[in-house]
Each structure stands twice: as structure tokens, then as C-alpha cells.
Structure 1
Amino acid sequence: MITIRITGARELTENFRQLSCRSRETLTIALRTSLRDVRDRARLNHKFTTRSGETERGIEYDQTGPLSGVIGVTTKIGIYQHEGTGIYGAKGRPIVIRPKNRTALRWATGAGFAFAKRVTIQGIKGDPYLYRAARKETPAIKARFADAIRKAAKI
């Protein structure tokens, strides 16, 4: 998990209620813009192959407090693509696929069908696109909040 820390934000959060309405709006706009930019970068810069666009649309953000927010993946496939599965995932072991209702698995090949009692796959490597997007956007976020804090101090 990546956390972007803004120096002086704790004191600003403690005094947030005392700020004028315009100052709060300035900081809230900076937060929402930062969340949106990280989300958009994650949607554009990933390494997985997209087919329907559902995974990209599943990257969402939410403002959880006056000066805090969360960016995450809301689809199951997106979580697997981000974190990895099989030997690349949390369990670290291959995935074994067995038939549920039949005695063998069957799949199409170029010359007909192939059959097997079980298949072992290693899984997919994770693509931590949310972490990369947050790291790439960190300088812009810091600059945006510095500007918002300067504006809030002037008001």
C-alpha cells in the first residue's frame, strides 16, 4: 500500500473546522483532483490485456474524509490482475484445475479436442498498476496541495 504524506497536513486537518468555507473547498478540490489523476493514470498505464474495459472501469476512487481518500479495484478480475494468482499470488502455489461433474476436462485445440484428468497452471503475474500510478503522480499531488495550502493561508 502506498501512502502519500503531505508535510503539514496533520496540523491542517486538526484546524480544518476553523478554516473558511473557501479554504475547505480549495483543499477538497485538490484532494479530488489528485484521486482522479491517480485513477486515470492507473486506467491508462497497465500491462494486462483489456477486452471489455470492465477492469478499467472498476478502478474507482472515493473520498473517505475531509482530507482523505481511497483508490481501489472493485472487480474480482482486477484484483487478480493487480495482485497476481497461483505462484505469483498470496498463497504461492500452483493452481490445480479438476473436473467438477465429469471424469475429465476437455478443451478445443487446433486438431480437435484435448482431454486431461487435471491441469496445473502457475497463475498470472501481478501488475501493480495502482502503486505505479500513485508513485508517478506523487510530485504533482505534493505540488497541488502546496498550492492549495498557500491559497488557504491567504484567504
Structure 2
Amino acid sequence: MTEAQETHEPRWLTDEQQRAWRELVALTTRLPAALDTQLQRDAKLTHFEYFVLAVLSEAPKRRLQLSVLATAANASLSRLSHVITKMEKAGWVRRKAIVGARGSFAVLTAAGHAKVAEAAPGHVETVQALVFDGLDDDQVRELIALGKTMVTQLDSAIAEGTGKA
């Protein structure tokens, strides 16, 4: 324990912050599980695998540098690399060296594009049912603003060392 931690009282959550925190925990725990359940059942994919395929399908030439893809997929490079290896074995993605530079591209194959195209309708319907059917247009805009603010705060705090071992 640092000297600052020993001499300062924790910044306890207010009652309202505690209620908001518990709702956020419920959302961040239950939504990924529900998305994984649907995608595993219908497409034999995890939500993360689907998301990586979807990001690649939308990229120019259906390829992205692995470090860029990791950022876009909200993942560490090591987590992404593990999933890309699994997808290579399935024939959905291939790695391509970057000429004259370190690193490589992840390139979506025709089979990978077919896989994401097959999974997309069920996934989008699930997202609509789980999230957007209960929100009006103003709430969707609020969700965008809250999400951006919270991700910016999260990234800033992580960069400063909060939450790191």
C-alpha cells in the first residue's frame, strides 16, 4: 500500500453512483453473455470473433494491420493474435506480411466474408431486441454520448495507470 493510500480516505460512491454502477455492471455482464449465446448457437462464433470478422468486412480491401484491428476490436494485440490464429485454421482470415515494415495484415478471406454475412442477420436482430427496441431516438443519442464519454475516461485512466497491476 502506498503512503497516499494509507493517509487518504477512499472516495466512496454516492448512493446514486452506486445505483448507476450496479446497472452498468449488470449491463456489462449480461449483454456480452447474451450476445455470445446467440452467436454460439446460430453461427458457432463468439461475439469477439464475430466483431473481428465484421470490422474486417468493413475495412478497405477487407484487411487491416493487426495493431489497428486490435484497437478497432477493443482488444489487446495478444488476444487478437490468438483469435486470428483460430480464424486462420478455420479459413476465415489469413495473415499477410507488411512489405518493408514490421507487423502483418489480417485479411478476410471469401470464406470469412461468407461466415460474417451468414451470422449478421441473426446477430443484428439480437442487438435490436436486447438493446435498441427499448430505446427511443433521444435515448440512442444519449447512449452514444455516454459511451464516448465513458470510453474516453476509461482510456485516460488506463493510460495514467489506473487499474493496472
TM-score (norm 1): 0.32
TM-score when normalising by structure 2: 0.31
Larger Rg: 1
Greater relative CO (CA pairs within 8 A, separation 6+):
1
- Name whichever structure is richer in strand by fraction: 1
